[in-house]
Each structure stands twice: as structure tokens, then as C-alpha cells.
A and B are shown apart, each in its own frame.
Chain A
Amino acid sequence: MTDISHPGTAGRGIDRSRAIYWGVAALTTILVFGPITPIIFQAFLDKPLYDNTAVLTLGNFGRLFSEPGMAGIFFNTLYFGALTMVVAQVFGAVMAVLVGRTNLPGRKWLGEIFIWPLFVSNLVIAFGWFTMYGPSGFMTLAAKTYLGGAPWNLYTVTGMGIVAGLSQAPLTYLMCLAAVTKADPLLEDAARSTGAGPFRALFSVTIPMIRPAIIYSAVLNFVVGIEMLAIPLLFGGPSGIQTVTTFLYNAGINAAVRPEYGIVGAAAVILLVVVAFLVWLQGFLMKGAGRFVTVRGKASRPSTLDLGAWRWPAFLFVFAFAFLTIISIFGGIFMRSAVSFLTPLIPFWKVLTTANFEQVLGSATYVRSIVNSVLVATIGAAIGTFFILVIALVARRSDFKHSRALEYIALFPRALPGIIAGLGFFYAVIWLPGADVIRGTIAVLILAFMIRYIPVGFGAIAPALAQVGEELDRGARISGADWWTTMTRIIVPILKPALFSCYALLFIHFFKEYVTAAFLYQPGSEIIGTTMLQLVAQGDNGPVSALATIQVVITAAFVLLARRVMGARIYG
């Protein structure tokens, strides 16, 4: 045989692959630190960022702490976050074990219902709670009428914390479910063979093994709690209860009338530091998790535990949870959107109306916010998927010497609360020369959402990438393909299912996002979330529920389509 020599020989210089490594690394760094840098600057400047006479100072922190009520705000935030975490963990973990490992009647469809809340924003959920359990909510009135009193009050920090906890339980449920169903049944069988009864085996072997999932989701829910805007805004607003997020939101929104740049910057930096610490803590606590790894290559069916006589009481408990915290919430939103006035005291059909939808569809602004939401989600998720894919390939599959650093930077937005990402981008587009062109467009929304959800997409792609053997890359390299050709021709086609999942997850997150957009939208670039936020503030509950219904319907249609047509894996 004759030799087909390759033209050209050595040369490390700047080839195509290296240009991509550096390009992606630079872009990621700029996009992640772009919004954080101005916030940090602002926290230490005595005048607005754009004022050239501003000088460095520590005064903002002093002013922040001397501000009356500030201690209360920080206390509220921590208490709210902690309560959210505890409630979510208790209910989520119990539901996961009952649905995942017992012969609970209806466990299949109950399991499906438990993940619904993950698809919609907590603004929608909060509004649903308000509609059903608020002071004049449907359930509240029903309880007062038929039971003689409603013992709950959502307009306290404790009430808010319980609501937030119940609405975050599905996240814990999802993570623990994966852990209980993937636990190797052989380990339980081993416990049985040494003399443990079935319940004993479950409690002594399997439950301890979901500890990493519980710890991980606990920290996650604590973070979600302290950076949550919707519930404190809806329930705390009327009774004057503030958390750090509502403080930032109100101060930021009112910045035009009452310039408080320094204090806002200082509060944002404190929130950022706390969240960054928690995310670090999460990683730290997970360090020893290796000894809990029970997932082996072989797929096995977990055995189910027979609850015996407790089957139906357990069913009642689980169903009550699903009905009261999920079904009734969604039901309340749908019902509210179809009536002029929602109350258990007047028969439903007497107040039926299409006025809410007419009002939404008749307003150019509201229609535009729906169109913008769809555009941001459709286009943004596509751009995001591509960007995250390239990051993952460079971070995990290249000989780029800073690949680990790139991954750290790309995953940093886990520690970036939405309200801070929004505020940061708001500053950055003013501050960075040339960035002004995208101010107030949906482009800046897409960019901000993309940064915020890099970790979500990365989480969908990286495990799939780890499944693809390194020899496939090596085989392509030795066959004559450079790094980029290897990635595009060999690795990316194999990753296709994971890319669909990444796209679907990003679509859902972009579509439901509202916090990050709160500071960034302008007339013309509204999205459903920001419009709802505005309407809620005005007390226009009819159009809010119609918009929420539209958002839920579009999401449901997308999830169905993504699962059926693209075969995307979204939450199990």
C-alpha cells in the first residue's frame, strides 16, 4: 500500500481548536463576571457607577446596617429561607420514599403530579396560593363558611415560609426519588438476609443512602428561599414584611426616584456572598458522598415495600398533599381566569366569563409579552444549548490547559441569585461601553437568562458526555480529525438526546423566568413574568390568572411535545 501523507507537519501556534478554547473561555468569563463586577464596584462607591467623581468608600455598608429595619430584613430572610428548607425537605423526602418505594395506590399518577410545580415559576405558584389561601381566597372562604374558621395566615413570615416550603417540596422529591429508586436493591436484600425486616431494611439501609440527596437539596432549597422574590413580594408586601430580595427589588425599581445605588450594591454583595458561601458549603458537604454511591452500571428494578393496612391512610396523606398544595393551586389559577369573581359562595357557572382572556388578548402590551416570552425561550434556549455545549466540550473534552478553571467560572452562576443577575446586567449595559445597544431588548434578557442557567444546561450535558468513551475522540484524532472536527462529527451526534434535554430544560427555565428580567425589561421587551409582576402589584387578578393560565398551557404543550417528539428527558 502507498502512504497518503498528510500535508503540513507540526505547529502548535494558534490553530482553530486553540482559538475556540480561548474564545469560549474569554466569552464565558466576560459574561459571568460582566454583571458581578459593576455590583461590587457600586457597593464600594459613594456615587452612582457612571459618575466620574465617585470615590471608593466603605460607607455603603455602614449606611446599610444603620438603616432602620435592616436587621429585621436580614432576620426575615434567614428565617424564611430556613423554614422553606425544613418544610420542603420533610415533605419532599417523605413523598419520595412513599412514591418511589412502596405499593402506595396511585403512585404513578401522584408521582407525575408532584413534578408539575417544577415547570412553572414560583410567581405563578405564589399567585395560585394567594388565589386559594389568601385572606379572601377560595379555600379560606370555604373553610370560614363550612368549618367555621381558617387557621392559616399567609401574611406572616412563618406563613410565607410554609407556602414556599410546600411549593419547593417537589424539588426535594425529585432529587430524593432518584436516590431511592436508583439504590441497589441488592443492598436491601443483603440487610434482609442478615435478619432485618422489610421496614427495618428500608430505614437502616436505603434511607441513610439518600442522605446526600437530602443534604444537596436542603442547601439548594435554602438558597431558593433566600433569593425568592415572588412569595415575599405577594404575601409580605401588604403587611410590610421585607426580605433582602424584596428590599433590592423595591429599591432597584424605585432607583429613579430615590437613588440608593450604594445601599443596593452593598445589600446585593452581602446576598451574593451568602449564596456563594452556601453553594460552596453544598460542595463541601457532598465531598464524602462517594461512600453513598450505589448506582452501578446494571439496571435493576427496586423492590417495593408492602404497606399492608397502611396503604390507604398513606394514600390519603399523599393525596391530600398533592391536592391541597398542587392540584388546588393550579385549579385555582385556571378557575380564577374563567370567572369574574372566585368564591365558594356563588355557584361557579353564574360568574363564568371570558373577559379576563379578552382583556389580555386585546392589549398589545400583554400579547407582546406572550410573544416575547415564546421568542426568548425558543431562541434563547437554542443559543444557550449551543453555548453550553461548547463550554462542556472545552471543559471536559479538550487539552485546554485552563479547562477546570473554565468549568468553575461557567458553574459560578449557581451562586448568582436571579435578582442580582438582573441588577448586574442592568448596571453592566449602562456601564460597559457599547453594551447600550442591547439595553431594553429581548437580547439582553436572553443573555442574562443564559448566564443564569449555564449550570442547568451543563448538568444535562455533562453526565451524557461522561458516558461517551474517550477512545471515540482518540479514534477520530488518530484518523486525522482535529479537535473541532472530532467534536462536531463524532461527539455531538452521539450527544443529540442530551442536547434535546438541555434545550427543553432551558426552554422551560427561560419561559418561566421573571426575577432576572425585573430590572432589564422596558416597554417593548416585556415577558409574561414581568407583566404579571406589574399586574399583581396593581391587584389586577383577572388578567394575572389569564396570563398564568396561558403560561401553564404553553409550558404543558411544550413539555408534551418535547417528551414525545424530541424524546427529551425532563425531570425523570
Chain B
Amino acid sequence: MTGYARQRLIDPKVLGALQNLELIARTAVEGALIGLHRSNTFGFSPEFAEYRAYVPGDDLRHIDWNVFARTDRTYIKRFFGDTNCQLIVLLDTSASMGVGDPALGLTKHDYARFIAAALVYLAARQHDAIGILGFNDQTSLYRPAQTHAASTRRLYHDLDELKPGGGTDWHHALTQLQGLATKRSLLVLISDFYTDIDDLGNVLRGFAAQGHDLLVIHLLHPGEKEVSLQTGSTLKDVETGQLMAVSSDELRSDYKTRLEEHVHSLMRSTRGMGGHFMSLGTDQPLDLMLSEYLRFRARHP
């Protein structure tokens, strides 16, 4: 990574201050693109590739009308970046995502929305169809994959309106996902994944078997990685309201071990299904995530 690229890394706190989700996505994506040295390998539209004769069924919007005016023949203008890929973001909006680091001023939900918005922006640039499924213990947002600019703006708005709350029901979410992923898609799962990994893996394995690509983005905020509590603290689960008295010694030792095992388990499960796993902290610049995502896309065109 160049020094220039490092300079372009944007603190998530700064992104959060932008308020405008579309602007956040544009800022993050452009920064990531600059850092990655643009290359046609990745085929970002609109880079012209060739003309081919129009056949019934082609999208009329892709007819080059200038050629038609000169030659009186209909040709379709093709671009390198046109992959016709369908991207579906599965966004966890449960109450646990509403927890964040007070020093950072950013919750996991905020960070997840930034990621989703950036993916929307990237998909719009690449003419990919993108759909979003927000979920907690119910469906909080359901937008089938579309490519229209109007739908992109609407997605920004929808993401802006999403609020964290409720529990987490992966089975319900993945059942809903069946309706969205009607053709081969890239499934991006953004969550803190406080669930049984084996159960989740069993369900996701079915999607992988159907040819869907999986990108699992695991979010944690810094406080979840390094827990420091006073003796005799009582923890409250924000989703269930359950109280649990824990000892600081236990948190310092066992919790950290269990967290690492949990993350590794999720990573192993994801990779076992041929998917890609990313574990992110909300204090990490969004550009890095996007860069890694683009590399992943390069490997899975």
C-alpha cells in the first residue's frame, strides 16, 4: 500500500460525521479505488469492449444510437465492466449491532450501513444489480436486486432509515434470502454473528451449493475485543435483556479465548463453503475493507 493510499485512509469517525450515506459511500469507494491503482482487469464500467449485433431480448438502453444513425444498423455497445452480477447484502439490524464504542462514537450498525452503502455505490458503478435484506428477528428491509439509478438512491434512503433493534433470527433471514437470491449471486453477510456457527454454516452451505458466492463480514467494535470490567460487574444482553454476573478475571482470560475461537470457527466455516471471510473492527478504515472486497471480486468475477 502506497504512502498516498495511506493518506487517503479515512477514519470511520470522519465518515460517520458526514451523515450523508451516499457521500460516505462515494468517499470510501473512491478512496479505495485510488489506493488500488485502477486497472481494466477489474472492468469497471463504462469501459468500451466491443460492438455486437442486436438480438431480440437485449436491453434497448445498450443500443448505440450513433452507430444506428450512421449505419442504420442496431449494435449493442458492450463494456468490460459489465458482469451482470447480482449482489445481495444481508444486513443484521438486531439490537446487538446498535452497540458501539463510546470513544469512537460509531456503532456496529453504523459501520455495517457504511459497508452496505459502499457496496451499493460500487454496484451502481459496475451496473451490478444489488438487493438488500435487513433483518433482526423479523425482516426490517427487503429490497430485491435492481440496477436502476432510482433504486440506488432509494437504497441509500432505506439504509439511512434503518435502526437497530430486536433480536436475531438467522433462520428467518436466510429463508427470506431464498426469495431474493433467485439466480447466482454474491451474498454479503454483515453481522456480529453472535450465533451458533455450526447451525449457521449448515444453512449457508445450501446457498454455497447453489452456486452463490459468500462474503461474510464479521463486525466487532474495539470494546468487544478487549473487555475490561470492574470486579462484580453485571452484563446485560441488549437483545434479550438477560442479566449475567461475570467476573473480570473470567472476562480477561476465558472470554477472549472464546471470542477468538468463535471468530476462527466462523472463518473456517465460511472458507469451508468456498466463501470469503472478513473480520472487521469498527475502528478500522472502511477503505481497507473495500480494497479487500475488490480483490475478492477480482478473484470471483
Do the two chains belong together in a single complex? no
